[in-house]
């Protein structure tokens, strides 16, 4: 069974948003508080997916972490045998090896930029054995600071254009947490 393109694109976009800024290390980058426009281009097995996917996300720098819930971070630590973060100037490299639903996911993320106005993250994950027929998932994410978050937005609020009723798909942090739980539970 293979992912459909929309599910793969959403999964890749969400996983890069969640994994980008911090990997349990004090020296991993944190984005400036405010509204960020994030563009993600994804390819699976060398095949470029439609895109780029563009979203806006409200960030609170004090909470800009892989997860806001320490229990999730503890779960990630249990599943990962390697999580190395190295900083050189304005470049952060994150290498990881984690277990995911009977698969080994070996990843490398390289993040560059000043995190106050812009950043770029290139991410490649290899799955052994292939996950849903996918051996490699690669993405490039660029972020641009737009200004303060919009009224009513909180850390983790996401808006994606061109989707859903009215042309926008909105997701709050609770919905994102439920999606993560479903992904972990069902491995999809």
* Interval 37-57: pLDDT, tens: 999 899 887 788 877 888 899
What is the rounded CA–CA span in Å between residue 51 and residue 48? 9
What is the span of the domain harbouring residue 25? 5-186
Residue 129 preceded by cis peptide, ω within 30: yes
Asked if residue 24 has pLDDT above 50, the reply is no
- Residue pLDDT, tens place only, 6-16: 444 444 444 44
User: Which of 171, 142, 139 has its CA nearest to residue 156?
Assistant: 171
Quick one: how far is CA 22 from the chain centroid?
A: 10
Structure tokens at 154: 């909180």
137 pLDDT higher than 80: yes
For the chain, the domain total comes to 1
Residue positions counted in the chain: 188
Residues of the chain above pLDDT 90, percent = 30
Q: Is the pLDDT of residue 182 over 70?
A: no
What Cα–Cα distance (Å) separates residue 171 from each residue in 16, 113, 176?
16, 26, 7
Name the least confident of 43-52, 73-82, 103-112. Answer: 73-82
Q: Does residue 110 carry a pLDDT above 90? A: yes
- pLDDT at res. 168: 62
Q: Mean pLDDT in the chain? A: 75
Q: What is the pLDDT of residues 138-167, one digit of tens each?
A: 999 999 999 999 998 888 888 887 555 555
When pLDDT is cut at 50, 70 and 90, the band that residue 28 belongs to is low
More confident residue, 85 or 175: 85
pLDDT of residue 148: 96
Q: Which of 43, 36, 45 is nearest to 17 (CA)?
A: 36
Residue with tokens 């539970």: 185
Of the CA atoms within 13 Å of residue 99, those in its CB half-sphere come to 7
User: Can you give the pLDDT at residue 78?
Assistant: 78
Distance CA 143, CA 75 (A): 27
Terminal C-alpha separation, the chain: 10
DSSP 30: -
């Amino acid at each position: 069974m293979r992912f459909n393109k929309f599910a793969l694109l959403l999964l890749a976009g969400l996983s890069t948003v969640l994994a980008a800024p911090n990997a349990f290390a004090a020296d991993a980058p944190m984005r400036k508080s405010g509204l960020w426009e994030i563009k993600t281009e994804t390819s699976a097995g060398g095949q470029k997916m439609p895109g780029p996917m563009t979203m806006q996300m409200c960030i609170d720098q004090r909470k800009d972490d892989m997860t806001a819930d320490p229990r999730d971070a503890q779960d990630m630590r249990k599943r990962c045998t390697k999580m190395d973060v190295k900083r050189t100037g304005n470049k952060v490299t994150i290498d990881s090896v984690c277990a995911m639903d009977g698969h080994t996911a070996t990843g490398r993320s390289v993040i560059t930029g000043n995190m106050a106005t812009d950043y770029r993250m290139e991410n490649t994950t290899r799955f052994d054995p292939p996950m849903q027929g996918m051996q490699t998932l690669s993405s490039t994410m660029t972020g641009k600071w737009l200004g303060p978050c919009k009224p009513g937005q909180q850390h983790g609020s996401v808006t994606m254009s061109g989707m859903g009723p009215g042309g926008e798909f909105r997701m709050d942090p609770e919905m994102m947490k439920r999606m993560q739980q479903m992904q972990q539970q069902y491995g999809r």
